[in-house]
Amino acid sequence: MRAVILLSLLVAFISTINCQWSTVQQTQRGLPVQQISLVKTIGFTPNTLNNRFILQNDISRSRIPFPQCISSEQSQVLLNPSTLQKLLHQKLQEEERKLKQERVRNDGLKNNDIMDFDAIQLRADALNGALVARAATKVSAEIMSQLGCETNSTLTERIDRFLRRVRLPPSLCAFNTNPDCSGFTRFRTITGVCNNLERPYEGSSQTAYTRLLPAAYDDGISKPRSRSVLGGPLPACRQISVTMSSKPVFDTSFNNLFVGYGQFLVHDISLATPVTDSGRTPVSSCSCSSQDHDMCTIMEISSNDPFMAGQKCMTMPATAQAFTDQQCTLGVKDQMNGNSHYIDLSVTYGSTKKTAVGLRAGRDGFLKTAKKSWSKFEIPPGQREGKSCTDSTETQKCFAGGDSRLMENVLLSGIQAQWLRIHNLFAKKMAEIHPEWKNNDDVLYDETKKISSALHQRYTYDFWLPILIGKQATQQYTGDSGLFSRYDPNVRGVVINEAVTAALRLHTLVRDLYTRCTPQAKLIDQVWLHDILAKSKLAYDGANNGVDSLLCGALYDYGFAGDANFGQDIHHRLFETTTKTGEVKRHDIVAINICRAREHGIPGYNAFRELCGLRRASRFEDFADTMGPANAAKLQSIYDHPEDVDLFIGMNHENHVPGGLVGPVSACIIGTQFRNLKYGDRLFYKHEGQFTPEQLTAINKYTYNCFICHSTDIEKVALNPFKPPNDQTNPLGLCSECPAFDFNSWR
């Protein structure tokens, strides 16, 4: 029955494809324009689809340069609507079969960590959007293969332009009709839908990242970047990682709270959604022998690896796919952002209706919390289903939150706890000044959420970003001259693939040891990062004040310097586990960052030098304008050509911009990202019309140190909480002297 329904949906393919393939231009410099004239739509009988359509691939024939290959006689047969219908139907069936097999496997392993892909707010969930997008990419790759097209990473943009002429049937597209946004002009939707009223799905959860440069896939479609421009293979991800040092030094200009808040912020705007089975649990079959790069990312490990000898590979699910610009067409692979793209505290409130409703208390605008006798403040509630930590028990459950990575480390959990506490404190105050709202849970929730999100945006742009890219670059990309800023609907408030896959992967700053201290800032102890990674034990350590002890320690701990050194715990011992047979399994964040960027089709470092106004290097010595000679020589010892250097690795070898922790290419990408997320966000807190001048003044006066004082069991906090305390430049202030948030302008 499902096949019959699917076939009826595909019938619409004829009308959507007919006459869309009239002309294809050859854009290679110096070559004449090529045109193709496809055959007219042929007759279609649904019964013809009952026979499985199989294309014959003669791998012995010579490849034909693109786009000449699409002007052949075979293209006129392959690219007619009826044939394309059959091919799409075949790929959908194949991909759905794989996901059902994954579901059986996960059931056997009792894996039930369901990703939240419910019927999204204001959007129809037509089949599984990621499944349809992946099938469309498979069709695209099959077309190029069957036409004998000679493709490579330099042709991706032109191939994509050609393929995107073919739209999928409307019934297969979740973005076919625009939602009614009339009731969502003042408050954010949970999903981010209706932020841009002209393009209402832009920036919403479960939509594709955008790009600064065209993707670079080996086949021009979807195969991860793996070839040197000189023809040989790129060095393996783990092989590159091993050449990076694990002897970091401290940087006294920022503290560990700055690092933790950065992780919280990146989780707020981005979730590289993993491929899931038919029950929406991440796939678990990835192994060293996995071949489907659209399902799994495999990182090979050398037999003589100094830290992982005996472990053949590292694996992880590939990132789920999504349609570029919410246009359901054939085309080059793009990846899905599972969270709302905006800086909106979705990490706290959720990015889907199901998650958001599950986190609300259902009264007085409150969020759910848990109360423990040993804690001055409440803590996040326990999960009712799924398992985001490895040591959960009935009395010490993993925390629930708006993002599934809440328990990646307990410091991150503590930052989440702060925002929960502030939300409920503010909701209570709003009810006091507006007694008429006492029984209106939705109004109190939305009004409070709007203020909390504004504070999060302010602390990000006024405190966090200037430390990362420097005050000069922050002003260049995001600065304003007056009290208010202005929204620009032409700016795309969408997360950039290159930013979250490389530039904002700030793992070189992550330290190995985390301090815990009392509310009076007396040292309790130091714990290893691997003791708080995906573990809840210390979050419930009542004798030592739970998450608040780590929040206290983060104010005093220096961060590691921004360079090519990485802490041991994330470099060689990430998520370390021991199997039932005694085999130790480890991961490596550096290798993961390199391989994920290749999987996402991120071009090399050299391309972004040119994008950011630097000269494109033809020799490694040409990198001298962004890094020292020793670092350039190190890259030459790893790679065969400057074009081969991975973006993440190149950026971590750069000299820092003035007053920042990153180099010029990093600052360029990060600055562009935060400019877009400011001016492309209709509901950004500083934009005209979001708050009155008096309300905006109250938000600006509520300092981050007082926010911490009002949400953490601590007695003193430095003036700039992202920097270590210093008697002369960053003195400690008593929390007892912190003024409360001024709600008078909300009366």
Query: What ranges make up the beta strands (E) of 621-686?
Result: none
pLDDT category of residue 177 using cuts at 50, 70 and 90: confident
- Does 127 have pLDDT greater than 90? no
Min mean pLDDT across 96-100, 159-163, 276-280, 526-530 is at 276-280
**Residue type, position 332, single letter:** V
What pLDDT, in 10s, does the model give residues 196-216?
A: 999 999 999 999 999 999 999
Q: Give CA–CA dist 630/623, Å, rounded.
A: 11
What is the average pLDDT across 470-495?
A: 96
- What is the Cα 80 distance to its own chain's centre? 37
What pLDDT, in 10s, does the model give residues 617-653?
A: 999 999 999 999 999 999 999 999 999 999 999 999 9
Q: What is the pLDDT of residue 53?
A: 30
Q: Enumerate the known binding-site residues.
A: 507
Q: Give CA–CA dist 441/449, Å, rounded.
A: 12
pLDDT category of residue 79 using cuts at 50, 70 and 90: confident
Let me know if 7 is exposed, middle or buried by CB neighbors in 10 A (0-12, 13-18, 19+).
Answer: middle
- Does 61 have pLDDT greater than 70? no
Q: What is the pLDDT of residue 77?
A: 80
pLDDT category of residue 265 using cuts at 50, 70 and 90: very high
What pLDDT, in 10s, does the model give residues 341-395?
A: 999 999 999 999 989 999 999 999 999 999 999 999 999 999 866 678 889 898 8
- Does 113 have pLDDT greater than 80? no
Q: What is the mean pLDDT of the chain?
A: 89
Of 80 and 491, more confident: 491
- Does 14 have pLDDT greater than 70? no
What pLDDT, in 10s, does the model give residues 525-577?
A: 999 999 999 999 999 999 999 999 999 999 999 999 999 999 999 999 998 88
Q: Give CA–CA dist 120/110, Å, rounded.
A: 27
Q: What is the pLDDT of residue 36?
A: 27
Q: Enumerate the known binding-site residues for heme b.
A: 507
Q: Give CA–CA dist 189/449, Å, rounded.
A: 11
- Does 51 have pLDDT greater than 90? no
SS3 620: helix
Angle subtended by helix axes 156-163 and 129-146, to nearest 10: 110
Q: What is the pLDDT of residue 126?
A: 44
Global pTM value:
0.91
* Contacts with 535 (C-beta within 8 Å, 6 or more apart), sequence order: 389, 390, 391, 407, 410
Min mean pLDDT across 73-87, 259-273, 586-600 is at 73-87
What is the average pLDDT across 304-321?
A: 94
Residues of the chain above pLDDT 90, percent? 76
Residues of the chain above pLDDT 70, percent? 89
SS3 5: helix
Q: What is the pLDDT of residue 578?
A: 83
Q: What is the pLDDT of residue 579?
A: 79
Query: What ranges make up the beta strands (E) of 108-265?
Result: 149-150, 207-208, 250-255
What is the average pLDDT across 273-277?
A: 92
pLDDT category of residue 81 using cuts at 50, 70 and 90: confident
What pLDDT, in 10s, does the model give residues 496-513?
A: 999 999 999 999 999 999
Of 154 and 680, more confident: 680
| DSSP secondary structure letters along 334-387 | -BEE-S-SSSS-HHHH-SSHHHHHHHB-SSTTPBP-B--TT-SS-BPPBPSSS-
Instruction: Using alpha carbons, list the distances in angstroms from residue 593 to 1, 295, 313.
Output: 43, 17, 15
Q: What is the pLDDT of residue 56?
A: 36
H, E, C per residue of 219-261: CCCCCCCCECCCCCECCCHHHHHHHCECCCCEEEEEEHHHHHH
pLDDT category of residue 74 using cuts at 50, 70 and 90: confident
Q: What is the pLDDT of residue 630?
A: 97
What is the average pLDDT across 122-144?
A: 80
What is the average pLDDT across 75-82?
A: 83
